[in-house]
């Protein structure tokens, strides 16, 4: 089965997301904190929009159940893989939202950079794993 165009475009976005985030993190490393904050908020908002668009289009087009029927990969494996992917994605996006929220509140007062860095690394790792897993799901459903 051929992947719908929206799914291909969204997959490419999520392949690029860790690089967008790395560029934003680099701004913080360069002590350009305002650029880091603005870019994180912008990337987050675009990502939330992409997720909402993806979820809407997926349901309109028949959902996971529709696409999985055309794959040669084990249904049980795909479901378990998808559940793990979704769990990591939800935790990562919640952590990312928390980081942005607390950073916006603390930006004017000064904030604990150590705690922010630590959680930021966890969020970056979680989002990167989510992006890789999402790309694997695309591969399993459409390129295998």
**pLDDT for residue 105:** 84
Cα 113 from Cα 30, distance rounded (Å): 14
What DSSP character marks residue 139? I
Cα 42 from Cα 92, distance rounded (Å): 17
Tell me the domain boundaries of the chain.
5-143
Average pLDDT score over residue span 119-134: 97
CA 137 to the chain's CA centroid = 14
| Interaxial angle between packed helices 75-106 and 33-60, expressed in degrees from 0 to 180 and rounded to the nearest 10 | 150
Share of the chain above pLDDT 90, in %: 86
What do you get for the CA distance between the two ends of the chain, in Å?
Answer: 10
Cα 126 from Cα 120, distance rounded (Å): 10
Read off the pTM.
0.91
Query: Do the Cβ atoms of 123 and 95 come closer than 8 Å?
Result: yes
Q: Which two tokens stand for residue 32?
A: 């350009």
Average pLDDT score over residue span 47-63: 96
In this predicted structure, the answer to whether residue 142 has a pLDDT above a threshold of 80 is yes
- Residues 61-117 have pLDDT tens digits of 999 999 999 999 999 999 999 999 999 999 999 999 999 999 888 877 766 688 899
| Interaxial angle between packed helices 5-29 and 33-60, expressed in degrees from 0 to 180 and rounded to the nearest 10 | 170
Determine phi and psi for 72, rounding to 5 degrees: -85, -5
**pLDDT for residue 112:** 64
Write down the residue that tokens 């603005």 correspond to: 38
Q: pLDDT: is 115 or 134 the higher one?
A: 134
**pLDDT for residue 104:** 86
């Amino acid at each position: 089965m051929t992947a719908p165009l929206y799914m291909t475009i969204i997959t490419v976005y999520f392949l690029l997301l860790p690089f967008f985030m790395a560029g934003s993190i680099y701004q913080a490393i360069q002590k350009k904190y305002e650029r880091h904050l603005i870019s994180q908020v912008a990337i987050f908002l675009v990502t939330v929009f992409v997720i909402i668009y993806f979820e809407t289009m997926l349901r309109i087009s028949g959902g996971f159940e529709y696409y999985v029927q055309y794959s040669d990969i084990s249904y049980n494996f795909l479901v378990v893989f998808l559940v793990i992917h979704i769990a990591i994605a939800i935790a990562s996006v919640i952590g990312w939202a928390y980081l942005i929220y607390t950073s916006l509140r603390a930006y004017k007062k000064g904030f604990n950079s150590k705690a922010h860095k630590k959680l930021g690394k966890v969020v970056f790792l979680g989002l990167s794993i989510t992006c890789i897993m999402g790309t694997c799901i695309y591969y399993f459903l459409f390129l295998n």
